[in-house]
Structure 1
Amino acid sequence: MASGRERPGRRRAWIAGAALLAVLAAAAGAGAWYGSDQSIKVVRHGTSNTRVLAVEDGLVTLEQTPQTAKPGTYWLEWSGAHTMLGDIVSRTPGRITRKVLRGPAPSAGTPGFFGNVPPGDPGVAWGIGHTEIMVPTELGPAPAWYVPGTSTTWVVAVHGQNGRRKAELKILPVVHRLGLPFLDITYRNDEGAPPSPDGLLHLGDAEWRDLEAALRHAQTMGARHFVLYGTSMGGQIAGQFLARSPLAGLVDRVIMDAPMLDVRMTAEQGARNLHLPGFVAGLSNQVTEWRTGIDTDRLSLIRHPPKVRPPLLLIHTVPDTDHPIQEARDLVAAGRRLGWPIRFEPFERGEHTEAWNVDRARYDRLVHDFLSPAQSSH
């Protein structure tokens, strides 16, 4: 009789356990799909994230947000205008006051976008003349900004995931002073560029072919050698180009800023940011592979370094919570074993791709010194 009374209890326990497992599986699946979206979904960003509270004597006071409270040099854009803002002068509860470094000041009450990338094109951002050219890619023409120079070594810049080419303009003043032509490209799924067949990002696995198309087009304009500059996912695109393109041998030097060096490590960091269990990162990569057909393991420049390995300047901020600095450290260790000349320059402050913002003088000096041999050798 006792065993008969226990059976219903056991049955209820099994049902409850099965229900819990179903809930956990559904939650893990939802987390994996969301993580995959964070990696490969095309996103267009908004236009306002703060408001001007006061303006006086070359100072602008903004609403305090996680963005406006960051140290360093940033830009405020509003209604087609922009200003460069310096470090924080003062702060009170809910208010951040910064110095105006360049450009007009907005009026109080103006909503604006506070960001870490230059506004507009080379002319708007730095007053440097340029033309817009169209690069013929396998999917159709993709726009690029071209700034002429006196050298046959060109700097070709590649922005990151869901970014815009204006993000690469931080190094333009240094490149221009050295006389190196500058080509700032777009690639599939960018605004103005053709979409990918599936409408998704491929984390460099396909985008490197658009970079190759840009270099081929640059050759028709007189380029003979190249320096690649890639930020965030742009670093992975540059790495896949070095691994797969027959033009890789024309690259003299590479600069990577906060690059995506290992898709798995990036996914694990994303899971940590969302306070999800570590195994969700693996599931997320599996979903990404299923949706795109890419091999995420192959997209590790640490485990699968490119065969062509020109000198690399690797810049990364220590607090980066998008692509953990451990990716950079692991690449340096791999490079040491392979004899790959990597100059690693960590910045103690700054979030993702904000090394220039927190210490422009040091960043510009590093880029200048690294590019000077390229300028003098061709």
Structure 2
Amino acid sequence: MLALIIIVAVVVLAAAYAAAALFLARAVVFPQRARPTKIVSVGDDGQSVVLSSNPLTRFDGILGLLYENETKLTVLAPGAKVAGDGSTVTRHLAEPAPLERGTDGRAAGNVFTAVNVAETEPVDVVIDTDHAPQPAWLYAGVGTNSSTWVLHVHGMLAGRDSALRSVRALAGTGYTSLVVSYRGDREAAGEGRTPSTLGQAEWRDLDSAIAYARSRGAARIIVVGWSLGATVALEEAEHGPQGAAIDALVLVSPVVSWARTIHYGMARQRVPHWLASSAIALLSSRLGARLLGLPVTLSLSEALPVPGVPTLVIHSDGDLTTPFAASRAFAASSPLVDLVQFPSSPHAMEWNADPERFAANTRDWIVAIPRQAGTGTEK
């Protein structure tokens, strides 16, 4: 009888362990968006709003606020006044907006629309990929710099609009900007929710976008990758048939190692290291791919990628999603990588913390390639 009890206990514990690992693995490839931002009240003048308090609404930098079922966008000016009990935050609006008290909004990093980010409106183009026709915005360059194409790749749980900030940062340079989409981001017509492959299949769509740029006269190609978009760029540089055409990378709040990022995020959620490691092992297995519906078996490692081109990393040491320590180690590992550390800010909010510095760092570094990039310096 005792033996049977022990066997049952072992089986129950093993089942609980497996279920926990699967739950965590699923959370990685099927991430959930944060709770909506409650619009608590609106100032009589329409120029201020009281929002529910969260790390993003408390952030002092410039922010976007989506409202009316996230169909409209207004801009929150820098500066946040937190209530004494910490439950709400008062923000000023850059321009009056018809916000409704008691409705839900969503604070976001992007503050632009496709038609107001640059002097000219974009052309809607479609990139043919082996997955689906992927929509993109094309901002034509001008002058001698127009043959430099900058491809902007957004991050997880975000759409193309989140990459408009780097389009804005390069405004006035004459470069051509192509803001791309990729499989799984639900920008393609009719695409439903699918698990993220953490860049290990998405890079194929960036490869097609580079081929598109080259077919239209791109002589120099720079990829700006935000968060997961940085992973996509690194995967493309290593594996893509068009990867050799990339002249430089600009990586913002990058995920340079998914294993390190998963450990970092789960540690913040008080998940034991051994359990996080089990989730990573499951994600990296054929069994995990089948259980999670992944089209490829993931390869997740603590090892850092080895860049083959000049690479600029822009990252805040206050990022609570992707570890700044990984970016620092990445920069230290190669003389091709330069790291610019930004003040403490939420994930992928470096532009929002200091738009002018972001633009200056990015422009100056691109102009200096290849003369100065690759010094391995931290600024």
- Measured against the shorter chain, the TM-score band is 0.7 to 0.9
**Does the CA-based 8 Å contact 2:197-2:298 persist in structure 1?**
no
| Residue number in structure 2 paired with 1:219 | 214
CA distance in 1, matches of 2:4, 2:59: 51
Unaligned runs of 5+ residues in structure 1 are: 1-10
CA distance in 2, matches of 1:322, 1:22: 35
**Does the CA-based 8 Å contact 2:39-2:100 persist in structure 1?**
no
Letter in 2 for 1:53: S
CA distance in 1, matches of 2:162, 2:254: 14
Moved more, 196-205 or 269-278: 196-205
Letter in 2 for 1:223: A
**Does the CA-based 8 Å contact 2:73-2:111 persist in structure 1?**
no
2:346 matches 1:351: yes
SS of equivalent residue, structure 2 residue 345: coil
| Residue number in structure 2 paired with 1:329 | 328
The alpha-carbon deviation at position 271 of structure 1 amounts to 2.4
CA distance in 2, matches of 1:263, 1:195: 29
Instruction: Name which of 123, 129, 146 aligns with 1:137.
Output: 129
The alpha-carbon deviation at position 212 of structure 1 amounts to 0.7
**Does the CA-based 8 Å contact 2:153-2:226 persist in structure 1?**
yes
SS of equivalent residue, structure 1 residue 176: coil
Q: 1:362 to 1:326 in 2, by over 3 A?
A: same
**Rg larger in structure:** 1
| Residue number in structure 2 paired with 1:7 | none
The alpha-carbon deviation at position 17 of structure 1 amounts to 5.3
2:370 matches 1:371: no
CA distance in 2, matches of 1:134, 1:256: 24
Higher helix share goes to which structure? Answer: 1
Q: 1:39 to 1:47 in 2, by over 3 A?
A: closer
CA distance in 2, matches of 1:329, 1:17: 48
The alpha-carbon deviation at position 173 of structure 1 amounts to 1.8
Instruction: Name which of 252, 262, 265 aligns with 2:247.
Output: 252
Letter in 2 for 1:85: L
Instruction: Name which of 34, 52, 60 aligns with 1:71.
Output: 60
| Residue number in structure 2 paired with 1:81 | 72
**Does the CA-based 8 Å contact 2:37-2:52 persist in structure 1?**
no
1:12-31 alignment to 2 at 5 Å?
12=2, 18=7, 20-31=9-20
CA distance in 2, matches of 1:87, 1:158: 25
Q: 1:17 to 1:361 in 2, by over 3 A?
A: farther
| Residue number in structure 1 paired with 2:90 | 97
1:166-245 alignment to 2 at 5 Å?
166-193=161-188, 199-245=194-240
CA distance in 1, matches of 2:243, 2:320: 30
CA distance in 2, matches of 1:54, 1:197: 35
Q: 1:38 to 1:47 in 2, by over 3 A?
A: closer
| RMSD after superposition | 2.8
Q: 1:83 to 1:364 in 2, by over 3 A?
A: same
TM-score scaled by structure 1? Answer: 0.84
CA distance in 2, matches of 1:59, 1:278: 44
CA distance in 2, matches of 1:275, 1:200: 24
CA distance in 2, matches of 1:288, 1:89: 39
TM-score scaled by structure 2? Answer: 0.84
| Residue number in structure 2 paired with 1:296 | 299
**Does the CA-based 8 Å contact 2:128-2:134 persist in structure 1?**
yes
Summarize deviations over 1:138-183 as a string: whole Å, max 9, x none: 1221101111112101010111223211111112122221111111
SS of equivalent residue, structure 1 residue 50: strand
The alpha-carbon deviation at position 194 of structure 1 amounts to 7.2
**Does the CA-based 8 Å contact 1:36-1:285 persist in structure 2?**
yes
Summarize deviations over 1:82-127 as a string: whole Å, max 9, x none: 21112335332333111222463524444322222235x4215566
CA distance in 2, matches of 1:134, 1:325: 35
Q: 1:116 to 1:63 in 2, by over 3 A?
A: same
Q: 1:223 to 1:350 in 2, by over 3 A?
A: same
Summarize deviations over 1:37-92 as a string: whole Å, max 9, x none: 1222276x589422141224532222323432222111111123321112335332
Q: 1:125 to 1:28 in 2, by over 3 A?
A: farther
